Amino acid sequence: MADKKKLSQDTQNTLWHARTVEDVRQTLNVPEEGLSDQEAAERLERYGPNQLPAPQRRGPLKRFFVQFHNLLIYVLLGAAMVTALMGHWLDFGVILGVVVVNALIGFIQEGKAEKALDSIRDMLSLHAYVERDGHRREVAAEELVPGDLVLLQAGDKVPADMRLIRVKDLRVDEALLTGESQAVAKQVDPVEEDAVLGDRLSMAYSGTVVTYGRASGVVVATGKQTEIGRISEMLTTVETISTPLLRKMDVFARRLTGAIILLGVGAFAFGMLARDYTMVEMFLATVGLIVAAIPEGLPAIITITLAIGVQRMARRKAIIRRLPAVETLGAVTVICSDKTGTLTRNEMMVRDVVCADASFEVEGDGYDPHGEVLRDGQSVEVSDYPLLGDLARVGLLCNDSTLDTDDNEQWRIHGDPTEGALLTLGLKLGLDAEREADDLPRTDAIPFESEHRFMATLHHDHEGNAFIFLKGAPERVLELCRRQRQGDEEVELDEDLWRDAAEKLAGNGRRVLALAWRQTDSDRHDLAFDDISEFTLLGLVGITDPPRPEAIEAVKRCRTAGIGVKMITGDHARTALAIGRDMGIGDGERVVTGAEIEDAADERLSEWVREVDVFARTSPEHKLRLVRALQANGEISAMTGDGVNDAPALKRADVGVAMGIKGTEVSKEASEMVLADDNFASIVDAVEEGRTVYDNIRKSITFILPTNGGEAFVLLAAIALGRVMPITPVQILWINMITAVTLALSLAFEPPEKDIMTRPPRPPKEPILSLFLGWRILYVSLILLAGTFGLYIYERETGADIEVARTVAVNTLVMFEAFYLLNCRYLHRSVVSREGLLGNRLALYAIGLVVVFQLLFTYAPPLQFLFSTAPLDGAAWLRVVLIASTVFFLVELEKVLFKGLHREARGLEPRREGEA
Residues annotated as catalytic are 338
Strand partners, 604: none
Cα within 13 Å of Cα(705), Cβ side: 19
How far, in whole angstroms, is CA 297 from its chain's centroid? 31
Whether 661 contacts 317, CB under 8 Å: no
Long-range contacts of 780-783 (CB under 8 A, 24+ apart): 780/706, 780/709, 780/710, 780/820, 780/887, 780/891, 781/705, 781/706, 781/709, 781/710, 781/712, 781/713, 782/713, 783/710, 783/816, 783/886, 783/887, 783/890
One-letter amino acid for residue 392 of the chain: A
Whether 863 contacts 869, CB under 8 Å: yes
Nearest to 615 by CA among 675, 543, 564: 564
Whether 180 contacts 643, CB under 8 Å: no
Distances (CA, A) of 725 to 277, 284, 391, 869: 12, 10, 93, 14
Nearest to 180 by CA among 208, 152, 160, 158: 208
Q: How far is 34 from 228, CA to CA, in rounded Å?
A: 25
Q: What is the DSSP letter of 764?
A: T
One-letter amino acid for residue 56 of the chain: Q
Strand partners, 535: 481
Q: Is 458 left (phi over 0), alpha (psi -120 to 50) or beta?
A: beta
Task: Annotate 257-287 with three-state secondary structure.
Answer: HHHHHHHHHHHHHHHHHHCCCCHHHHHHHHH
Q: How far is 294 from 79, CA to CA, in rounded Å?
A: 7
Q: How far is 654 from 243, CA to CA, in rounded Å?
A: 6
Question: Helix (H, G, I), strand (E, B), or coil: what is residue 812?
Answer: helix
Question: Helix (H, G, I), strand (E, B), or coil: what is residue 902?
Answer: helix
Nearest to 468 by CA among 520, 399, 522: 520
- Rg (alpha carbons) of the chain, rounded to whole number: 36
Helix 227-237 with 620-632: angle, nearest 10 deg:
30
